[in-house]
Every structure is written in structure tokens, then in C-alpha cells.
Structure 1
């Protein structure tokens, strides 16, 4: 299926121009975004995603997004794309100078673009380690910004090695996250995910995993882990799982080109997540 586009207050044709060449999102990556899974024509966990969109915009110094406008745009693209599997909300600083500085607040006109399109979901994932790191002390650590060049490079390397995700450490050698996913390590029957202080994104799926694991009586908590814990995954004494809006909860079946066992608690968490998601589209 093709991508359906909403911008400037209406649905757009695929060949229409939806942003100016001096949009700050294009010139300097000044913007934030959200990606939601779509089930049965409805965006999953939309309220939580919009809450994070607002937090990211505030962290970047952008005006607060108009939630009613975003919801109107979301309804429009999903009505026009009933078989969509993914919703993408992009919110930028709008027209601005060619440098990193913004226009005065009174002159700012943020750009909102909402897209609906296809998505492919796999039950398991294939991951590799890469040499680059997340900066947990970055000015935009934990914000979901459109400045994704680091992720593009790291994910391209993962694909070059036959994987579908790259796993990153932070600057102090702790396990951090994937390019578009959070990581969960199953150790001795407990699901462990790096704390937000590691520099990882506050993933919506990660958030729900921790909540729903508690409800289901599955042991899960935040815990700082050394990047070398991935050696335990290769050795078979621990297991790795990725979480994300399109992946949901996806146990890792291959790490660095080597097949690894799926963790039993991780597999059960995947089942619980899918069941809960089917019961409530906006938890």
C-alpha cells in the first residue's frame, strides 16, 4: 500500500510539496516525532505517544503541539488508509534560518506532518553490536528527535551484517538501546532493561512491558548492565529481547551472526503483551 499524507490542515496527494526548503526540520534536524503501530485502523497507545511527543517538543524548546490537531490528522490518514500498520507523526520548528538559531518565538510556525503506511512485524529479531555509542549526557538524550543520522549509519551496518537492529552502549560502557528499540536482558528468569539514566529513550513499549509484566507476575525491572552482558547472551546464560512500537516485544534469535536461544520469560512476555494490546488499543 502507499503512504497517506496529512499536512497543512488536509490530506495531501503523494506528489504535493508539504514543507518549505527552509523548514528547520530539513536544514538542521530541529524536530521531534512519534511512530505508533496501527491495529484495526486505530493507532496503538496514541495517548502515551502524544504525551511523549509533547515532552520531546518541550525538551527541544519547540512550542507545545496542538493535540487536537494531531488527533484530527491521525483520524484522517487512518480513515484513508484502513490497512495501515504504522502511523508517523512529525513535528518540526517550521520555517527558520539556515543556521541552528530559531526565529523569535512570535514568528515561529511549526510544521506538522502525519503519515500512515505499511509495517512489517517479525516474531523474532536479529541484532549485532556496533562500535558507536549513545551519549547519555547529550542535550537531547532521551528525546525522540528527527536527528537520526547516527541511527541510519548504525542500522545500515546491522543490515550489512544480515541483522535488523544494532545494539549500542553508552559512553561509560553500559548497555543502552538499539537504533529504534529498547533492550531487555533476561537473566536468571528476570527481565532487566537499562534505566533512562543510561541515555536510552523512554520507549512506550518498554513502559508497557514493565507495567504489564508486573500485572502478569513476571519479574521485570530497570537495572544498569555492562555492555559485556551481551557476551552472556552469546554464551547462552542470558537472553536478549527488543521492544518497540512496531516490533512490540521481539526476542532476539541471532546476535552477531550467531543463533541464540529465546528466553522463556521473554517469550511469555511477548505473549502477554500481544494479548493485552489486543484488549486495549489505548492503554
Structure 2
């Protein structure tokens, strides 16, 4: 796959792309993004990704580009790079503006689509750490996939410093919201359960597929629920993996549960 990406209306070589120093996405994290899996030359669950993207643009009050043009650009990146598998990172920022927080009138959004090859190896099982960072379930931003990922980044760094490989973020009420870059599910009495969006969980794509297939249900979860679960699984658009410990305490792991979820999401 070549280093060709979409930037503001045209395919360009990666080295030729220039982000304007006044772009609010760079300066303020003022934008949204989607990471989409490509399989057999097509984007998996494109409709769901587009729905979440445009909901996020509406939440941030960023002028929405024409959906048909965005989808055509996605196809162009896949075609130009002869992609059969991998992922696309679609980023839309509010665009450029003067110094200060208030967005300018009539700013033109920046649109960038970057291709990535498939992961060389599957992600390993996760060792979870309950982070001191919190997920504010009362904020509308908890339901949008914005460029402001610092709480998740700090949570993951904290987990690594404490000997884990993945962080669990609790909400302001002390209940489970999500992992740093994945939705979280547990198996209880054979049923898959996942925190509701109202608890601070990002409305993930893989999560929505499992809910629509009636393979999972929404339930408020606590740390005790994780420890008592028959299995704890992390899912996002790119991966499905088991969690095998929480704050160094072992978690039950059912390989059949992980295989069942992966079959539903990755087929």
C-alpha cells in the first residue's frame, strides 16, 4: 500500500500534506474522527460510522460536509491505495481560525483520510487497571468521538505505569464506563452485558452491532461485576480481546465467549 491520503479535496502523497498552524483541530482538538476497518476492499459498517460521525459534527456544531462527497473520498483512498484490508482514519476539524476559543464565522472544515495496513499481529489479552481518571457521563462529549482524547491517553499511561496494559474508566458515579479505546462487555449467566451510553460509554460501532443482534444487553456495571464475571471482553471496530486481570486480580476467561463475539463482528 502506498503512502497516499485524502486531504481537503484531493489525493496527495503523505509527505506533501501540510496542516495549517491555525487549524483548530491541531490547536484545540476541535474536531471528530472515525477509525474504520477495511475488509475485502470495502469499509465494514460504513453506515454506522457515518451516523456517529455526523452526530458528532452536530454536537460540536461543525458545518457538515456533504455525506456523498465524504463517502466518495473514502472510496478514492481505498482505490488509490489498492487496499484489500487495513483501516482508514477519517478526521474532520472545524478548520482554521484566529487565536481564541470562539469559532470564526464561515470556517471551512479540514477533511483528512489516512490509510493504514492491517495489524501485524493480533492484540494480546488485556491486563486491566482501574484508572484514577473519570468519564463524565453528563457531558454530551462523552457520546461523540472527538479529537480530545487526553483523559483516555492519561488513563492508558497510568495503567502502563501500574503494570497493566489497558485502563478502565469509571464515570462520575463510580460505575464502569469504558476502556481507554474500547467498549467493555462482561458475561454473566451466559449473557453479554455492556454499560449504557448514559453511563458514559462511547456509542461504539462494535457495541451497537452486538446490541442490534441481541447478543448483548445494556446494564450498569461496577468493579465488582467485572471481578465476578464469567468473561470480560474489550471490543472496538478493529479488535476483540479478552481481559485476564483487573488491578492484578485474575479474571475468568472463556475462549468460547471471545470466539463468539469475534465471529459476530469480524466475519
| Fold agreement, TM-score > 0.5 | yes
- 2:177 is aligned to 176
- The CA deviation string for residues 55-77 of structure 1, in whole angstroms up to 9 with x for no partner, is 00001111123212211221122
Distance 1:182 1:101 in 2: 32
Range that drifts further, 168-177 or 152-161: 152-161
2:230–2:253 CA contact under 8 A, matched in 1: no
The reply to whether residue 68 of structure 1 matches residue 35 of structure 2 is: no
Distance 2:117 2:246 in 1: 27
Q: Which runs of 5+ in 1 are unaligned?
A: 279-283
Distance 2:26 2:97 in 1: 10
Displacement of 1:265 in angstroms is 6.2
Q: How does 1:1-283 map to 2 (within 5 A)?
A: 3-81=3-81, 82-104=83-105, 107-120=106-119, 121-122=122-123, 124-161=125-162, 163-212=164-213, 214=214, 218=215, 220-232=216-228, 237-247=229-239, 249-263=240-254, 266-274=257-265, 277-278=266-267
- The CA deviation string for residues 261-283 of structure 1, in whole angstroms up to 9 with x for no partner, is 32366235324314xx43xxxxx
TM-aligned CA distance change 1:265 to 1:173, over 3 Å = farther
Give structure 1 regions of 4+ aligned residues with deviation exceeding 6 angstroms.
Answer: none
Distance 1:225 1:50 in 2: 29
TM-aligned CA distance change 1:269 to 1:84, over 3 Å = closer
Q: Which runs of 5+ in 2 are unaligned?
A: none
1:57–1:65 CA contact under 8 A, matched in 2: no
Displacement of 1:43 in angstroms is 1.4
TM-aligned CA distance change 1:3 to 1:155, over 3 Å = farther
2:42–2:84 CA contact under 8 A, matched in 1: no
Count of residue pairs brought into register by the alignment: 264
Q: What SS does the corresponding residue of 2:111 show, helix, strand or coil?
A: strand
2:35–2:87 CA contact under 8 A, matched in 1: yes
TM-aligned CA distance change 1:84 to 1:14, over 3 Å = farther
- The CA deviation string for residues 5-44 of structure 1, in whole angstroms up to 9 with x for no partner, is 2102111112123321111111111100111111122111
2:129–2:159 CA contact under 8 A, matched in 1: yes
